[in-house]
Amino acid sequence: MSLSQARRMVILVARHDHIDLTDTHVELNSMDLGADFIPGYSSFIIIRESDTPGPDETLRRYAINRRSGDVWEINLCTHYDFPELTHMRRALALHDAPAAGDLAAEGKELGCTDQRSAPAS
């Protein structure tokens, strides 16, 4: 999966999470600077820039498995699976649904011991 395809998946998931990427204070950036932030995954961060002195707010940190197309929020250990995402995976010729063992292994790779599934709608 290319970086641009992974980015399109992240944009879809961010919309699913009700994040307004058209907001001029919200930025979507790759975390893979020179090398993979997490080997085998494309990683992205979404931040809301502070309009006052102080730190920016991290809204989400997503990791997309480049082989399977599985999308995770790595701070919340949330795996995403909803109809539009499944459709996009199929369009990219990726798998339909991961097996439970695959999800557990991916979660472990990402440092998640307690995994959650995002709401489907």
* pTM for the full predicted model: 0.82
Q: Residue 48 to residues 27, 56, 115: CA-CA distances in angstroms?
A: 6, 6, 25
Task: Calculate ∠ Cα 56-62-68, nearest 5°.
Answer: 170
pLDDT of 105? 79
Q: Tell me how long the chain is.
A: 121
pLDDT of 100? 47
* DSSP 8-state class, residue 55: P
pLDDT of 99? 53
Asked whether 115 and 107 are in contact (CB, 8 A), the reply is: yes
Q: Which residues of the chain have pLDDT under 70?
A: 94-101, 114-121
Q: What is the pLDDT of residues 43-62, one digit of tens each?
A: 999 999 988 888 899 999 99
Strands 26-30 and 78-80, sheet pairing: unpaired
What are the structural domains, with CATH classification, of the chain? 3-117 (3.10.450.170)
pLDDT of 95? 58
